[in-house]
Amino acid sequence: MDVLGILRENGKDLLPEEIELLQTELDIGEYDAEYIAACKKQISELKNWSVNGMLREDRVESEVQVPEEHPPEAIVEKETNVIQSFSHVSAEDIVAADLQRMRSDRDYRSLFKNYVKESSVINEAFVSAHFSLFREPEVSVLLSCIHFSEEFLERYFSSLDPKAIALHQRFSENFFIKHYADLDAVTVLTKGVNSWRIKTLRSKMLSNFLRIKGVKV
């Protein structure tokens, strides 16, 4: 992300939380020391400008009252500029920054689970495209919240928690048979979410397979 470019071109229009997000990006991103120093100098100047600007605005507001139903054109223009400037921040950048903040919280796992459930961004396509963004415990939480396709499960199987797959994911009998050595059969057939965990709903192929393996559940 071109943090310095955003600060120089749209810095005065950014909200405090937006500047904070850019600071987080500098902390977690791969930028050289000179670039970071230039960005932090720009942020410092913006904060000083913001404080002075607020003092000036307070004096102006005490003298002139603007009807709320008719906002000044300058305010509308500012809001538009903020939206346009912050559109440069990608979904990956936002999620990465949110993860960085949550990981330092004592209730991190619970926070992350709620975050995933409420997110309109984190789905199979996003996780597949940015798999390295998530740590191992986070991937297990993802498995408990999102239904992934067998294609995804196959692609990342070696990096996934078999227990989480067995408990929370829906997959075919063929997938189960293929990964029988890794997926605990008792967990899949007694606590899993697949309809064929019930004996009467299993195919003859699976029933015979389980009988050969000595599985009686």
Contact 177/206 with Cβ under 8 angstroms? yes
Coil, strand or helix: which one is 177?
Answer: helix
The gap from C-alpha 140 to its chain's centroid, in whole angstroms, comes to 14
* Long-range contacts, 214-217 (Cβ 8 Å, 24+): 215/185, 215/186, 215/189, 217/185, 217/186, 217/189, 217/190
Which pLDDT band, with edges at 50, 70 and 90, does 206 fall under? Answer: very high
Mean pLDDT to the nearest integer, 121-141: 97
Instruction: Please give the pLDDT value at position 21.
Output: 77
Cα–Cα nearest to 204, from 177, 166, 182, 178? 177
Q: Tell me what percent of the residues of the chain surpass a pLDDT of 70.
A: 81
pLDDT tens column, 161-170? 999 999 999 9
Longest dimension (CA), the chain: 87
Instruction: Please give the pLDDT value at position 108.
Output: 93
Q: Among 37-46, 61-70, 125-134, 195-204, whose mean pLDDT is lowest?
A: 61-70
Q: How many CB atoms lie within 10 A of CB 31?
A: 17
Mean pLDDT to the nearest integer, 58-74: 53
The gap from C-alpha 26 to its chain's centroid, in whole angstroms, comes to 18
pLDDT tens column, 40-65? 888 888 877 666 655 455 554 555 55
pLDDT tens column, 80-98? 444 444 556 789 999 999 9
Contact 124/148 with Cβ under 8 angstroms? yes
CA angle 65–67–71, rounded 5-degree value: 105
Instruction: Please give the pLDDT value at position 61.
Output: 53
Q: Which tokens in the block code for residue 212?
A: 């050969």
Mean pLDDT to the nearest integer, 65-74: 54
- CA–CA separation, 196 and 24 (whole Å): 47
- CA–CA separation, 199 and 217 (whole Å): 8
Name the more confident of 183 and 65: 183
Contact 196/206 with Cβ under 8 angstroms? yes
Q: Which tokens in the block code for residue 16?
A: 């405090």
